[in-house]
Amino acid sequence: MPFGIYLHVPFCASRCGYCDFNTYTSADLGGGGSRAEYPTVAATEIRYAAATVGRRSVDTVFVGGGTPTLLSPAELGGLLAVISEEFGLAPNAEVTTEANPESVDAAALAALRAAGFTRISFGMQSAASHVLAVLDRQHTPGRALQCVQWAREAGFAHINLDLIYGTPGESEADWKDSLHAAVQAGPDHISAYSLILEEGTRLAARVRRGELPAPDPDALADRYELAEAVLTDAGFAWYEVSNWAREESARARHNLLYWTGGDWWGIGPGAHSHLAGRRWWNVRHPRDYAQRVADGSPAADHEDLTSAQQQLERVMLTLRLREGLGLEELSDVGRAASTRAVSDGLLEPGAHSTGRAVLTLRGRLLADAVIRDLTD
């Protein structure tokens, strides 16, 4: 079974108004858990993980955040070297880092590639300056597109652009322009996510106060359908509800590991892990994390998934994939629901002849509801 390492870098230069991830600015951190100390602390947890798991070849590494590239290429490369030394990287390992466009330049990207990173994901979000302003993004509309060119020149095998649709004030034309700009930049992978108003975020508060309109569900559906049309026409194919790739080799293997129930160890504050049906998560604050690592394990709590829970998660995640779900994974009630879903145009025709439930375009728009019906 593939094995991955997720490394969470919890630092941001500023906080985006829509984000509820476990991230911290310098002002948030107060007296502990500094960015300067973090590489040493994370390396200690990597060594702890290796001592716990034993030497197990790592197929995928994903560095997420926060803004991972607030650490220098040398620091990120040093952590990758520790993973390689302690676990061993598979010969064709996928090694990804996220990057905010304003946090890297041509030299930094070349240094990351030289350090062993093979894939990079840029948070583009939009090509419209007024949309970026509502999201509190710091980069200019063209910066992500320039980063793609730099990454290609640096030799990255795979490049992703993240987009967000449904931001208050975004028009259909804005979204279409963003899609075309992303395609023309030349990545081989594009992710498109509907804006979600998370409780406790600045953007949610602004909508609640009436300063901004709430995202309209019908408009969100229209945006998704436009993404499917533009990306398909440009040679991309969906392989997960929110992800499109030019070819199979460009698919995000680390994320596929999550979606197919693989094993991974999460390094860093608030990071989640899964091994053989056990899930656990680390304490959230960098200061507490550093102290817990020094004391031994940074884990805050854990749960052991029952076979029924594992089965339910497998159905929920696998159905979001282009290959779909084997009908044998469903209960009798679920199989009956799948027949109705085919009739309703939510699953592709012929599900019962092929033995697989695959979402149609309409089914992708209603994926959560379809999953609910199949698992009730």
State pLDDT tens for residues 295-349.
999 999 999 999 888 888 988 999 999 999 999 989 999 999 999 999 999 999 9
46 in Cβ contact with 102 (< 8 Å): no
The tokens for 181 are 């700009």
**338 touches 370 (CB < 8 A):** no
Amino acid identity of residue 337, one-letter, is A
Confidence of residue 93 (pLDDT cuts 50, 70, 90): very high
pTM higher than 0.85:
yes
The pLDDT, as a whole number, for residue 365 is: 96
Residue 38 belongs to what H/E stretch? helix 38-53
Residue-level pLDDT at 28? 63
Q: Which of 58, 46, 73 is nearest to 282 (CA)?
A: 46
Which residues, other chains included, contact 268 with Cβ-Cβ below 8 Å and sequence gap of 6+?
Answer: 6, 7, 8, 9, 10, 42, 45, 282, 289
Q: Would you say residue 141 has pLDDT above 90?
A: no
Rounded distance, CA 288 to CA 291, Å? 5
Per-residue pLDDT band at 138 (split at 50, 70, 90)? confident
Q: 194: buried, middle or exposed (CB in 10 Å: 19+, 13-18, 0-12)?
A: middle
Helices 106-115 and 143-154, axial angle in degrees (round to 10): 40
- Residue that wins the pLDDT comparison between 309 and 78: 78
Strands 189-194 and 158-165: parallel
Question: Which SS3 state, helix, strand or coil, does residue 323 take?
Answer: coil
Domains of the chain: 3-259 (3.20.20.70), 308-375 (no CATH)
Is residue 5 within a helix (H) or strand (E), and if so which, with residue range?
A: strand 3-9
292 pLDDT above the threshold of 90: yes
Question: Within 13 A of 56's CA, how many CA atoms are on the CB side?
Answer: 19
Residue 105 gets which letter from DSSP?
Answer: -
Interhelix angle 367-375/307-318, rounded to 10 degrees, is 150
CA dist., res. 324 & res. 318, Å (int): 6
Does the pLDDT of residue 259 top 80, yes or no? yes
Residue 32 has pLDDT above 60, yes or no: no
Q: What is the DSSP string of 61-89?
A: EEEEES-GGGS-HHHHHHHHHHHHHHT-E
Question: Residue 370: phi, psi to the nearest 5?
Answer: -60, -45
**Buried residues in 325-345 as b, exposed as e (16+ CB within 10 A):** bebebbeeebbebbeebbeee
For the cut 90, the answer to whether the pLDDT of residue 85 exceeds it is yes
